[in-house]
Amino acid sequence: MDHRETVALLWPEEQGVKRGPKPRISLDQIVETAIGLADADGLDAVTMQRIADRLGVTKMSLYRYAPGKDELLALVLDRALGTPPDLDDEPDWRAALRSWALALHTEMIKHPWALTLSVGIRPFGPKELAWTEVGLRALRPTSLDGAARLDALAMIVWHVRGLVQQSAGQASSNVEAGVADLMAGVLSRHADRYPEASAAFTAAASSGGQDAALDFGLDRILDGLAGYADR
């Protein structure tokens, strides 16, 4: 796939002030409208026609701002990711990386449809690259080289992605406790057949509402990285 048009939209070159009548809409408005549609009705709801209808313009007029829907969605993803956290006050690389992961989880929970857009070989936009830059900087005190740091971030991102995918469309991000609550009646009648599951789900249901799977998995990843990076 030729990504040149996507790169050009994500990373526009500086241009001088254009003369002529002021445009009725802006690229920012188009992107925010697309995000609103995706948040309300899912990614399939984001069409050039629906965006145009929301903005009160013709569908063809949108192509003055973006060459096509695929390129526009790349910009939508980048905007939806938000701004990465400031980790300068974190005491060490592990605490910094943990804060980075929790912040990413918070942003992705807001826009779970972004999971679909953030896969495959594709160019990163400024915000996504800023997240990567901050994560890599957090790992700078370790012995990991650049490629290994990218791999470390990938492990964390896929852990976060998996839990966001599990939580998509749910009122709570704590899927583990939610499933445990639903299974309580079944397990009370079949605890003798599934004793380990009964004990585990009972503990999960009484965990106080914390997202135990996110914290547990993240801490284990960081444990592994600490043992590898500090050796």
Domain boundary among 53, 80, 107: 80
Enclosing H/E stretch for 137: helix 126-138
Is residue 192 in some structural domain?
Answer: no
In Å, how far are 113, 131, 184 from 167, measured between CA atoms? 11, 22, 20
Do 22 and 68 share a domain, yes or no? yes
pLDDT digits (tens, 9 = 90+) for 186-214: 888 888 988 888 887 777 777 654 467 88
- Residue 229 banded pLDDT, cuts 50, 70, 90: confident
3-class state of residue 146 by DSSP:
helix
Do 52 and 100 share a domain, yes or no? no
pLDDT at 54 over 60: yes
- Report, as an integer, the average pLDDT of 123-147: 95
Do 43 and 141 share a domain, yes or no? no
pLDDT digits (tens, 9 = 90+) for 81-123: 999 999 999 999 999 999 999 999 999 999 999 999 999 999 9
Do 153 and 223 share a domain, yes or no? yes
Distance CA 104, CA 82 (A): 9
Lowest mean pLDDT among 52-56, 88-92, 137-141, 191-195: 191-195
Q: What is the pLDDT of residue 95?
A: 96
Is residue 53 in some structural domain?
Answer: yes
In Å, how far are 20, 35, 113 from 45, measured between CA atoms? 34, 10, 11
Q: Where are the alpha helices (DSSP H) in the chain?
A: 4-10, 27-41, 48-55, 69-80, 93-110, 114-117, 126-138, 146-167, 175-190, 195-205, 212-229
Structurally, how many domains does the chain consist of? 2
Do 139 and 162 share a domain, yes or no? yes
Do 42 and 125 share a domain, yes or no? no
Distance CA 184, CA 203 (A): 11
Do 76 and 97 share a domain, yes or no? no
Instruction: Say which amino acid occupies 209.
Output: G
CATH number at residue 36: 1.10.10.60
Is residue 118 in some structural domain?
Answer: yes
Domain span at residue 119? 93-173+211-229
Q: Is residue 105 within 8 Å of 160, Cβ to Cβ? A: yes
Do 55 and 146 share a domain, yes or no? no
Q: What is the pLDDT of residue 209?
A: 46
Share of the chain above pLDDT 70, in %: 88
Q: Is residue 167 within 8 Å of 173, Cβ to Cβ? A: yes
pLDDT digits (tens, 9 = 90+) for 69-85: 999 999 999 999 999 99
pLDDT at 133 over 80: yes
Is residue 86 in some structural domain?
Answer: no
Distance CA 44, CA 78 (A): 18
Do 59 and 127 share a domain, yes or no? no
Q: Is residue 100 within 8 Å of 134, Cβ to Cβ? A: yes
Distance CA 117, CA 109 (A): 14
Share of the chain above pLDDT 90, in %: 69
In Å, how far are 13, 101, 175 from 171, measured between CA atoms? 41, 21, 10
Q: Is residue 35 within 8 Å of 76, Cβ to Cβ? A: yes
Do 76 and 106 share a domain, yes or no? no
Q: Nearest 5 degrees, angle CA 120-CA 121-CA 123?
A: 120
Do 47 and 125 share a domain, yes or no? no
Is residue 189 in some structural domain?
Answer: no
